[in-house]
Structure 1
Amino acid sequence: MIAVPSRLAVLRDLLEREDVRAISRRYFVSNGFDGTLTSIGVIVGAVLSGIPDGLTVVKIGLGAAVGLGTSAVWSVWEIERAETRAAILRIERAMLTDLDDTRVHRERRGARIVHAAASGAGPLIGVLIPLVPFLFEGAVVSMAEAGVIGVALGIGVLAVFGAYMSTIAGQRWYVSALRMALAGLVVAVINLFLPG
Structure 2
Amino acid sequence: MLIRLLEGRGKRDNLLGLRVLIKRSKEIGPILRRFFINTLFDSTFVQLGIVIGSILAINQDLRLIISTMVASSFALGISTGVSVYESEMLERERRIVDLEKALFRKLDNTVITENYKTYALILAFLNFLTPLMCCCIISIPILLATFQLLDRTIASWLSVILALGILFVAGTYLGRLSKQNPLIKGLRMVVFGVLAFLVGFLVQMMI
Scaled by the length of structure 1, the TM-score of the pair is 0.86
Which structure has the larger Rg over C-alpha atoms? 2
Q: Distance in 2 between matches of 1:18 and 1:172?
A: 26
Secondary structure (helix, strand or coil) at the match of 1:137 reads: helix
Q: Distance in 2 between matches of 1:120 and 1:181?
A: 24
Correspondences of 1:79-118 after superposition (within 5 Å): 79-118=87-126
Q: Distance in 1 between matches of 2:156 and 2:174?
A: 27
**1:29 corresponds to which letter in structure 2?**
I
Relative contact order, CA 8 A, sep 6+: which one is greater? 1
Q: Distance in 1 between matches of 2:126 and 2:174?
A: 15
Q: Distance in 2 between matches of 1:104 and 1:173?
A: 38
Per the alignment, residue 176 of structure 1 pairs with 185
* 2:192 is equivalent to residue 193 of structure 1: no
User: 1:51 Cα shift?
Assistant: 4.2
Per the alignment, residue 48 of structure 1 pairs with 56
Per the alignment, residue 76 of structure 2 pairs with 68
Scaled by the length of structure 2, the TM-score of the pair is 0.82
User: 1:72 Cα shift?
Assistant: 1.0
Say whether the 8 Å CA contact 1:40–1:188 is kept in structure 2: yes
Higher helix proportion: 2
Write out per-residue CA displacement over residues 48-104 of structure 1, whole angstroms, 9 at most, x where no aligned residue: 133423222111101111110110111111111111111111111222111122232
Per the alignment, residue 59 of structure 1 pairs with 67
RMSD: 1.8
Secondary structure (helix, strand or coil) at the match of 1:17 reads: helix
**2:167 corresponds to which letter in structure 1?**
L
What is the number of equivalent residue pairs in this alignment?
A: 183
